C-alpha cells in the first residue's frame, strides 16, 4: 500500500506536528496491521499492494470482517473507520491523484451505536450497600457519607 505513504503518514503527520502519544500511535498502527491481515486473507499480496488497491468496497468489507470474524464492537469498528478516514484525508491533502477514492472512503458513514439507559441500583440494593461500611470508624463514616451522597445524586 505505498509503504512510503503509510510511513510518511506516521512520521510526518502523526508523530511530529501532531505530537500524538504512544497509545494513539499504537492504535493507529494496529488498525493498519488489521487492515493488512484482512487484505492478505482476501488474497492480496502485501508486497505488491498499492494505495489504489484500497477501494471503498474493500474498506466496507474490512469493517464487516472485523465485526464478524474478530467480534469487534460497533464502537471499535467506528474507531477503525475514523483512523482510515484520517489517513485518506491525509492522502487527499498530499495528492489529488487519489481524490475520488479518498473522498468515497472519507464519506463512509459510521455505524449507529445503540445507546442503553444507565442501570441503577434498586432500593433494596441501595439499602444493602448503605449497610456495608463500619459506622464506628472514621473511614467507615467517610465511606457512608460518599455512598449516601452518590445514592442521593442518583435519585435526582
Q: Kindly state the DSSP code that residue 133 receives in the 8-state scheme.
A: S
Cα dihedral sign, 28-29-30-35: positive
Cα dihedral sign, 75-76-78-79: positive
CA 85/CA 77 separation, integer angstroms? 12
**Beta-carbon contacts of residue 3 (< 8 Å; ≥ 6 apart):** none
The better pLDDT of the pair 139, 155 is held by 139
Over the stretch 74-132, which tens digit does the pLDDT of each residue have? 999 999 999 999 999 988 988 888 899 999 999 999 999 888 777 777 778 877 887 88
Cell numbers of 140, please?
A: 467507615
- Going from N- to C-terminal start, the domains of the chain cover 3-106, 123-155
pTM comes to 0.68
Helix (H, G, I), strand (E, B) or coil at 107: coil
Amino acid at each position: 500500500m505505498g509503504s512510503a505513504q503509510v510511513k510518511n503518514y506516521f512520521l510526518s503527520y502523526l508523530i511530529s506536528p501532531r505530537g500524538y502519544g504512544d497509545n494513539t500511535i499504537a492504535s493507529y498502527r494496529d488498525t493498519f496491521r488489521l487492515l493488512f491481515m484482512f487484505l492478505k486473507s482476501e488474497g492480496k499480496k502485501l508486497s505488491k499492494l498499492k494505495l489504489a488497491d484500497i477501494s471503498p468496497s474493500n474498506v466496507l468489507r474490512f469493517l464487516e470482517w472485523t465485526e464478524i470474524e474478530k467480534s469487534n464492537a460497533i464502537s471499535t469498528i467506528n474507531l477503525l473507520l475514523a483512523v482510515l478516514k484520517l489517513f485518506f484525508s491525509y492522502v487527499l491533502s498530499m495528492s489529488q491523484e487519489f481524490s475520488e477514492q479518498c473522498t468515497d472512503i472519507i464519506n463512509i458513514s459510521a455505524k449507529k451505536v445503540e445507546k442503553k439507559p444507565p442501570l441503577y441500583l434498586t432500593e433494596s440494593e441501595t439499602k444493602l450497600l448503605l449497610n456495608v461500611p463500619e459506622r464506628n470508624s472514621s473511614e467507615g463514616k467517610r465511606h457512608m457519607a460518599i455512598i449516601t451522597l452518590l445514592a442521593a445524586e442518583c435519585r435526582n
